[in-house]
A and B are shown apart, each in its own frame.
Chain A
Amino acid sequence: MAQLKRDPIGIRWHGRGGQGAVTASKILAEAGKSEDKYFLGLPDYGAERAGAAMRSFTTVSTKPIRALCEIAEPDAVVVLDSTLLDEVNVVAGLKEDGVLVINTTESPANIRSKLGYKGRIYAVDATSISIKNLGKNIPNIPMLGALARAVEVVSKENLVKMIRESLGGKFKEAVVEGNVKAFEKAYETAQAG
């Protein structure tokens, strides 16, 4: 299936505090730099609490990004935790010709029947991938992999390069490479429907 390409492209992230949605949204934004684009990584901060529902936004564009606010109608939505479906309307404002990328063990068809979203849905078991490759459930980088399969914000090579650069500043090489493996695995196994 062809990847979604838009300019500008707006992505909304849904996660729980501690899952790394802010980090992923900023890595994706910064990757825009590698292709000389404009970018904005905008987390919706609260008083941060582990486990609480949170959102973040990424915009990448060939033109300057002026509005420093939430994206009302995103082109893509990424959900890091499927238990959020019970408390948050994750497809609110999501364009009908957009993409929903979700961390779940369920099929895209099941997710569709739950949410009634008409656009494309990508499902991936990022939690299992994360546990296997990192030894714990930090599904942000695998979800970036699944998103990269569904949407081309920047080239996959540039995105992986940015993941290495960004995580490389904070973590040991084994953790960085584990994340890159998890990214690739999610990229390969994301199911479209």
Chain B
Amino acid sequence: MTEVMVRKAEVKALEGDKAVTEAMRQINPDIVAAYPVTPQTEIVMEFSQFVAEGLVDTEFIPVESEFAAMSSCVGASCAGARAMSATCGPGLELMWENLWVASGLRCPIVMAVVNRSHAAPLNILTDQTDMMGSRDTGWVQIYAENHQEVYDNFIQAVRIAEHPDILLPIMSGHAGFVLGHTLGRVEVLPDEVVRNFVGEYKPLYSLLDIDHPKTFGAYDHWDYFFEHRRQVFEAINNALRVIPEIGQEYGKISGRYYGLVEPYRLDDADVVIMIIGSGAGACREAVDEMREKGTKAGMLKVRCFRPFPAEEVVKALKDKKAVAVMDRCACFGAEGSPLFTETCAAFFNRGLRMKLIDYFYGLGGRDTVPSEFCDIFRELSQIAETGEIKPPLVRYLAVRE
């Protein structure tokens, strides 16, 4: 069965943004509400074209802003519709208030986030500050490394969000331009395989279910607000169990299996780079290059950042001699980057001490090449050898001083 499905996949040349719209077309959601913003514009352009051509049954809502996009998604989701959106950088910021409404109302909205930096200085290129900045809004967050994962993640996102133990919105992130506007190879599953996988959306509660009237979005006093918040804490953590389950199920129809994290040449590695998203490919090249030179290098890719897969991270890294944590975001004023501080907390809470260093890298679209990852591996080897981390603990990769 699996073999047959895999063989039926069609190889297409797609930009990352169009890998999203291809998945969206196959999923055929009830509504899409989105506002165009570089470098997400192609998603809105192409998907609204699909709607105009009648390739989908979706109602496309051409909203006046991202705030309205998320308001529309929340309304539609409460009404019982499968609702989707797409945005990036400043667009995500404009949705801010409604991000919390979406998670608080337990709306399983699926949104592509084409990762873009925040102004100022004005910049349209990629980093993950947008999603990292909204990491605590109660949305599940997964990131893609390559074109294939952009497509695969978006399809799985539907099942993750709508899982009865989760019922939360999800952001499926991919790098603006680097993935969004570059052309890559994507194996596209047959339409009916995708439609069977995502299934029909059957909402637990619906505004339009007039036989069972319910209240949505009512005021919540101190008497129950906390209990409702508590449910979101629980629900998002359920994704730690559900995401790998759905990743396995997806593997059966595609031949590509997904989890919370993905190791690369990690088993016998001494020195490891931990990374999220599109930079992982160049890091893999560096791992291979260092291995050829005799360094036991490895990589741990974090696919899911919210909820944070602390258990998997600790399990993968606890025996390693030195680890560099790479974070492509500008979140200011903390002890280190979001990925770094989460990782530190995960080890501390399990009574473990690790040699960890933190790198901010690639902000505003700055390219990070394999040789730069090789330099980091060399530094990690030195730390592993001497047991000493020379300050500073938090560094900036390839930045003019």
Q: Which residues of A contact B (CB under 8 A)?
A: 26, 29-30, 32-33, 36, 38-43, 45, 47, 65-70, 72
Contacts and interface: CB of A to CB of B under 8 A. Distances in A.
B181 A43 contact: yes
A70 B177 CA distance: 12
A39 B185 contact: yes
Interface string B246-283: 00000000000000000000000000000000110110
A65 B184 CA distance: 9
Contact of B285 (A29, A33, A66): A66
A32 B146 CA distance: 17
B182 A40 contact: yes
B285 A67 contact: yes
Given A36-B11, A38-B185, A39-B13, A68 B125 contact: no
Given A36-B11, A39-B185, A68 B179 contact: yes
B282 A67 contact: yes
Given A45-B125, A66-B281, A68-B278, A39 B369 contact: no
Given A33-B13, A47-B124, A68 B183 contact: no
B370 interface: yes
B7 to A, nearest CB: 13
B178 interface: yes
Contacts of A67: 281-282, 284-285, 369-370
B368 interface: yes
Tell me the interface secondary structure of chain B in the complex.
mixed
A29 B183 contact: yes
B282 A69 contact: yes
A32 B183 CA distance: 11
B369 A42 contact: no
B209 interface: no
Closest 5 A/B residue pairs (Cβ): A41-B183, A66-B281, A30-B13, A67-B282, A42-B182
Contacts of A66: 146, 281-282, 284-285
B184 A40 contact: yes
A127 to B, nearest CB: 26
A33 B11 CA distance: 8
Interface centre among B124, B184, B278, B369 (most CB of A within 10 A): B184
A69 B183 contact: no
Contacts of B369: 67, 69-70, 72
Nearest to A72: B369
B367 interface: yes
Nearest to B14: A30
Contacts of A39: 13, 183-185
B13 A45 contact: no
Contacts of B278: 68
Nearest to A37: B185
A40 B181 CA distance: 11
A39 B370 CA distance: 19
A69 B125 contact: no
A70 B281 CA distance: 12
Nearest to A66: B281
Interface string B10-24: 011100000000000
